[in-house]
Structure 1
Amino acid sequence: MTFKHIASFLLLITCLTSFSKEEQSSDVIKPISAENEKGLIKVAIIYPFSEGKTFDMAYYKTKHMPMVAGFLGSNLVRYTIEKGLASGIPDTPLPFMAIGTFYVKSLSDYHAAIGPNRDVIRADFANYTDITPVIFISQVIR
């Protein structure tokens, strides 16, 4: 083995060791695992696709969802934003433009937070879409 090979090997080991230490750091945000989501309440706000309808993803991502997340406070575990790309069946229309999802600890606390802010939330729809969303609330089983 040449010096060049040994140096490359040592560099690789150093990089892997550094990466491993970074991952173990408490500063690294780790995604919530499916096991940690078990029992949470999942609120999915689904925006069905319809020809001629509009959806401003940038506004939704930077203004609307953070506003609603703020209303939820400490009950909120996390939220996700999904942009529709395609149907599960080739050459069929896209079923949904977007889906926003909130994972919360308590359904009653969710309702208590959203209730007094419902009019503000609904009024903001006009800033990013002309689609009436469908809301589906479920409990994460697995």
Structure 2
Amino acid sequence: MAKLIVSYANRDGAKFDRAYYEATHMALLDEHWAATGFLGWEVLYPADSGQPFAAMAILRFKDQPSIDASLGAPGTAAVVGDVPNFTDLEPTLFRTSN
């Protein structure tokens, strides 16, 4: 299994719609990446406002080539294009080696 971590570094005044993120945005991942080895997701939110991130998502894939295939899939444009609908924060991607 391979993982891709998507983090949203927080800043004062930032917007992050948790309900939209989980109900709508993550459904886009399920829809567009299921055929390319995407296995599922988990979202972590900070325990308090003093944390450096608004959210972090752990995306699980079959293997590293599945991450590449998902990021290169035609539906990825819809996934990326949806980001402004729930946040004004810039997502950062981090690949794990395990």
State the TM-score bracket (shorter-chain normalisation): 0.7 to 0.9
More helix by share: 1
Instruction: Give the letter aligned to residue 51 of structure 1.
Output: D
**Greater length-normalized contact order (CA 8 Å, ≥ 6 residues apart):** 2
CA distance in 2, matches of 1:69, 1:110: 13
Equivalent in 6, 10, 20 of residue 59 of structure 1: 20
TM-score by length of 1: 0.61
In the TM superposition, what whole-angstrom CA distance separates every residue of 1:89-111 from its partner, at most 9, and x where no partner exists?
A: xxxx3210001111111222222
Aligned to 1:86: 48
RMSD: 1.7
TM-score by length of 2: 0.86
Aligned to 2:2: 41
Residue ranges of structure 2 left out of the alignment (5+ in a row): none
In the TM superposition, what whole-angstrom CA distance separates every residue of 1:54-81 from its partner, at most 9, and x where no partner exists?
A: 1000000001012112222151232101
More strand by share: 2
* Number of residue pairs aligned between Structure 1 and Structure 2: 96
CA distance in 1, matches of 2:52, 2:13: 14
Q: Runs in 1 of length 4+ with deviation above 4 angstroms?
A: none
Secondary structure of the residue aligned to 1:120 is: helix
Secondary structure of the residue aligned to 2:33 is: helix
